[in-house]
Every structure is written in C-alpha cells, then in structure tokens.
Structure 1
Amino acid sequence: MSKPVPDKAEVALEYPDKFYVGTFEHSSRFEAKLDGSGIALVLQHPGAADERKSVHLHINFGLLAGILRELARSVAALPKDDIAHREQLAEALDELQRALGAK
C-alpha cells in the first residue's frame, strides 16, 4: 500500500550518453517493503502521461546494512541543533529495531 511522500526525494541516473533526474515531493507516493532478499522501494509521481514518473529500487540486505553503517559514520555531518531531523531518524530506527525484535 503506497503512502504520501512525507518530505522530498531526488533521484538522478547517469549513463554515458543520458542523464535523468526527478523529484518526488508531497504530491507523490511511496511504498517500501521487505522481501526475501532485501528491500523494495517504489517512488511514484501521478499525473498526466507527460508528468507521470516512477522509480523502482531493490537493495539486498547486505548492501542495506552497509548503507546503514555508512549513515551511522556520517551522522556527525548532521548539525547538532537539527533536532527535528535527528528525532525523525531516531524514531524510525527505534521502530525498525522493535519490528526486528532487536530491543
């Protein structure tokens, strides 16, 4: 079940001969779920055929774990006074840990 995008996502794909960029904001929707080998993420922007866009991404668990570790190492780059974003991330992480049975 897809949900409204609560903030913003920017996606860029770069190939040797092409460059694609797209933004997904509040009028867009997302879906994220675990499957047998990783996470599936879908970002969708509805609208007329010339405005519609979607991105489908699958990340295996090993890569996701590596991404989370890199995020942990770079959290110092998030300003200490950015309380709102720190709380959003901490609350989401707590929810994931509870769901995994890690707490």
Structure 2
Amino acid sequence: MSKPVPDKAEIALEYPDKFYVGTFERSSRFEAHLDPSGLALTLERPGAEDVRKSIHMHLNYGLLAAILTEIAAGIAAIPEDDGLHRGQLRDAAAALHEALKPR
C-alpha cells in the first residue's frame, strides 16, 4: 500500500546520450517492501500524462546493508542542532533495529 512522501526525493538517471531528472514531493506517493532478495522501492507522482512519473528500484540485501553502513558513517555530517532530521533517522533506525531482533 502506498503512502504519501513525507519530504522530498530527487532522482537522476544518466545514460551516455540521455539524462533524466525527477522530483517527488509531498503530492507524490511511495511504497517500500522487502521480498526474498531485497528491498523494492517505488516512487510515484500522480497527475496528467505530462507530469505523471514513477521509478521502481530493487536493492538486494547486500547492497542495502552497504548503503546503510555508508549512511551510518556519514551521520556526523548532519549538524547536531538539526534535531528534526536526526530524530527522524534515529527513530527509523531504532524501528529497523527492533524489527531485526530474533523473535
């Protein structure tokens, strides 16, 4: 089930002869779920044909783990006084940690 995008995502796709860029803001929706091999992520911007767009991405668990590790290493770049973003990330990481505990 898709949910509203709570902030903003910018996507760029570069080929040797083409460049695509798109923004997904609060009027957009997202869906993220795990399947047997990794994370499936969809971002959708609804609307008329000339503004409607979507991206579908799949990250295998190994790559997803490497990305999370890189994010953890870069957290220091978020200013200490940016409580909103640090809190959002802390709460999401705590939820992930709790969900990964053995049952």
Structure 1 regions of 5+ residues with no counterpart?
none
Partner of 2:19: 19
TM-score when normalising by structure 2: 0.96
Partner of 1:9: 9
SS in 1 for 2:21: strand
Percent same amino acid at aligned positions?
67
Deviations 1:29-87 (A, max 9, x none): 00000000000000000001111100000000000100011111111111111111000
Aligned residues: 102
Partner of 1:90: 90
- Aligned-pair RMSD on alpha carbons? 0.8
Q: What is the identity, as a one-letter code, of the residue corresponding to 2:84?
A: A
Structure 2 regions of 5+ residues with no counterpart?
none
How do 1:46-65 residues align onto structure 2 when only pairs under 5 Å count? 46-65=46-65
TM-score when normalising by structure 1: 0.96
Q: What is the identity, as a one-letter code, of the residue corresponding to 2:12?
A: A
Partner of 1:37: 37
